[in-house]
């Protein structure tokens, strides 16, 4: 059985990005938050140690988005969102349709990582509750390896529902 996907939306000082990935991604991003990233780029770099190929795929997806959506011309993403209401690839929130996507749960739900407010909001999470302290398996291409990671969010972070 394949692991369900979850939508993760990341808010930072430069804007908002959103993407869907395997549900274990939520724990990897939470562990990355424990290191105090200032923006989404740093968050993804920190999360890369927990599932390198997944994070590299997300970063590449953002690069593709940036290549095809220049300035105020969002035709490329608008056409794709018209075809797929549950679009899984990374996008920057640049207009109404992308904002709507950023707030739409995927299979296992939606978690918002607000780096500005140091807040993780489990809007809907049917996979596994995000905890302040936890551990997880290091993965490669989504497959568990023998490695384990542990994290503890600093007191400055809040986890909601």
CB 98, CB 18: distance < 8 Å: yes
Domain count, the chain: 1
Least confident segment among 80-89, 111-120, 122-131: 80-89
CB 38, CB 115: distance < 8 Å: yes
Q: Give the residue, 138 or 161, on which the prediction is more confident.
A: 138
Phi-psi region of 71 (alpha: psi -120 to 50; beta: other; left: phi over 0): left
The answer on pLDDT for 68 being more than 70 is yes
Rounded-to-integer distance, Cα 51 and Cα 32, Å: 11
Alpha-carbon separation of residue 57 from 3, 53, 79, 118, 121 (angstroms) = 17, 6, 22, 25, 24
Provide mean pLDDT across the span 36-52: 97
CB 19, CB 89: distance < 8 Å: yes
What is the pLDDT, as a whole number, of residue 142?
81
Q: Give the residue, 71 or 130, on which the prediction is more confident.
A: 130
The answer on pLDDT for 83 being more than 80 is no
Provide mean pLDDT across the span 95-121: 96
Instruction: Assign 1 a pLDDT band (cuts: 50, 70, 90).
Output: low
Q: What is the pTM of this model?
A: 0.94
Q: Please, which residues have CB within 8 angstroms of residue 25's CB and are 6 or more apart in sequence?
A: 6, 8, 47, 51, 54
What is the pLDDT, as a whole number, of residue 45?
97
Provide mean pLDDT across the span 91-103: 95
What is the pLDDT, as a whole number, of residue 24?
94
Instruction: Give the residue numbers spanning the domain of 55.
Output: 5-160
The answer on pLDDT for 82 being more than 90 is no
Instruction: Assign 71 a pLDDT band (cuts: 50, 70, 90).
Output: confident
Provide mean pLDDT across the span 127-133: 96
């Amino acid at each position: 059985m394949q692991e369900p996907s979850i939508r993760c939306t990341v808010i930072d000082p430069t804007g908002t990005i959103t993407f869907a990935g395997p549900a274990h991604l939520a724990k990897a991003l939470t562990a990355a938050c424990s290191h105090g990233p200032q923006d989404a780029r740093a968050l993804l770099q920190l999360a890369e140690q927990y599932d390198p190929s997944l994070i590299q795929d997300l970063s590449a997806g953002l690069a593709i988005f940036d290549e095809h959506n220049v300035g105020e011309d969002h035709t490329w993403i608008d056409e794709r969102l018209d075809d797929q209401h549950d679009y899984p690839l990374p996008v920057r929130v640049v207009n109404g349709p992308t904002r709507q996507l950023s707030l739409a749960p995927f299979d296992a739900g939606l978690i918002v990582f607000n780096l500005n407010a140091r807040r993780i909001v489990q809007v809907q999470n049917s996979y596994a509750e995000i905890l302040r302290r936890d551990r997880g398996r290091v993965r490669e291409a989504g497959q568990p390896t023998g490695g384990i990671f542990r994290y503890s969010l600093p007191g400055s972070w809040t986890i909601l529902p």
